[in-house]
Amino acid sequence: MKKIECIIMDWAGTAVDYGCFAPVAAFLKAFKEIGITISMEQARRPMGMAKIDHIRELFKMDGIGDAFEKVYDRQWTEDDVIAMNKKFEGYLFASLADYTDPIPGVIETLQNLRSQGLKIGSTTGYTQAMMDVVLPNAAAKGYKTDNCVTPDRLPAGRPYPYMIYQNMIDLDIPSVDYILKYGDTIADIKEGRNAKVWTVGVILGSNEMGLTEKEVADMPDQELETRKAEVRKRMLDAGAHFVVDTIKELPSVIDTINKKLNNNNSK
């Protein structure tokens, strides 16, 4: 019987750090330090990419590159990207350990799927040095994966598929047909589709939603449903095979995929 053998999780906004706030806060502070104000929406737009690539995309945005040129009377360069990355890392490392609480439902759902023999890999936009902070702190709170691949030791990060392929090698998964990528950003979805694996987006707790647990709880039902529908559409438009509200829906999605695999239905 053909079936999903491996789930590849993202980290911030997917498994830990509800709402993906650690990198957002660091981006805002780093740009403010050089006299440029960026919005949370701008900071979130390239989320999921390797962080230096994320910074490069921010500089390319209308309003940010223009603001830089206005402040410094020149266009930004790659040296500015590198300098900003150092500032960003300083702010991120100062607070990263505080943003490692597992998102509700993640531990229990993955424990259940593990008991059925599934392996849990992971990819991230964080560097290995960043994950050296996240991994032990998340583990102390009960969340562990079987593997973690970072972009800084590969040709490129998301949206390229290399981190997923490295997970396949590390976890001995023989086919992309048996892998499910689960993440909270458009970059996650593109990574999964580029790797030709089953790709699932999650809404609540995601960078795309950009809300705290309290904000979600306090939001009027109709407004919340509207926000969720907007995120769902963005993820489906980016190519997600499925989009769920929370990880608690993932076992049902896996059952659906397993049936498709054995009915010879393509992705």
Place of tokens 């809300």: 211
Residue 168 has what pLDDT?
98
245 is catalytic: no
Q: The tokens of 205 are what?
A: 């707790």
pLDDT at 247 over 80: yes
How far is residue 177's CA from residue 192's CA, in Å, rounded to a whole number? Answer: 11
**Domain ranges across the chain:** 6-20+102-264, 21-97
In this structure, whether the domain defined by 21-97 belongs to CATH 3.30.70.260 is answered with: no
Q: Using H for helix, E for strand and C for coil, what is the string for the chain?
A: CCCCCEEEECCECCCECCCCCHHHHHHHHHHHHCCCCCCHHHHHCCCCCCHHHHHHHHHHCCCHHHHHHHHHCCCCCHHHHHHHHHHHHHHHHHHHHHHCCECCCHHHHHHHHHHCCCEEEEECCCCHHHHHHHHHHHHHCCCCCCCCECHHHCCCCCCCCHHHHHHHHHHCCCCHHHEEEEECCHHHHHHHHHCCCEEEEECCCCCCCCCCHHHHHHCCHHHHHHHHHHHHHHHHHCCCCEEECCHHHHHHHHHHHHHHHHCCCCC
Which amino acid would we find at residue 110? Answer: L
Confidence bin at 153 (pLDDT 50/70/90): confident
Cα separation, 220 vs 198, in Å, equals 33
| Per-residue pLDDT, 123 | 98
What phi and psi, each to the nearest 5 degrees, are found at residue 137?
-70, -40
pTM: 0.93
For residues 228-237, give the mean pLDDT.
98
Q: How confident is the model at residue 149 (pLDDT cuts 50, 70, 90)?
A: very high
pLDDT at 7: 98
Residue 51 is a catalytic residue:
yes
**pLDDT greater than 90 at residue 266:** no
pLDDT at 264: 75
CATH ID of 6-20+102-264, from 3.40.50.1000, 3.30.300.30, 3.10.20.740, 2.40.370.10: 3.40.50.1000
Locate 224 and state its tokens. Answer: 């919340």
Q: Assess contact for 59 and 76: CB atoms under 8 A.
A: yes
Contacts of 187 (CB under 8 A, 6+ apart): 46, 47, 48, 49, 125, 158, 159
| Averaged pLDDT score across all residues of the chain | 96
Question: Any known ligand binding at 132?
Answer: no
Structure confidence by residue, pLDDT tens digits, 172-201: 999 999 999 999 999 999 999 999 999 999
Match 């019987």 to its residue by tokens.
1
Report how far residue 110's alpha carbon sits from residue 112's, in angstroms, rounded to the nearest whole number.
5
Please name the residues in contact with 85: beta carbons below 8 A apart, sequence gap of 6 or more.
51, 52, 55
Single out the catalytic residue among 2, 3, 10, 214. Answer: 10
What is the residue whose two structure tokens read 């799927």? 113
Ligand-binding site membership of 238 (annotated): no
pLDDT digits (tens, 9 = 90+) for 87-144: 999 999 999 999 999 999 999 999 999 999 999 999 999 999 999 999 999 999 999 9
Question: What is the per-residue pLDDT for 150?
Answer: 98
Q: Is 10 annotated as a binding residue?
A: yes
**Given a cut of 80, is residue 265 above it in pLDDT?**
no
pLDDT digits (tens, 9 = 90+) for 41-87: 999 999 999 999 999 999 999 999 999 999 999 999 999 999 999 99
Catalytic site residue from 51, 87, 190, 228 = 51
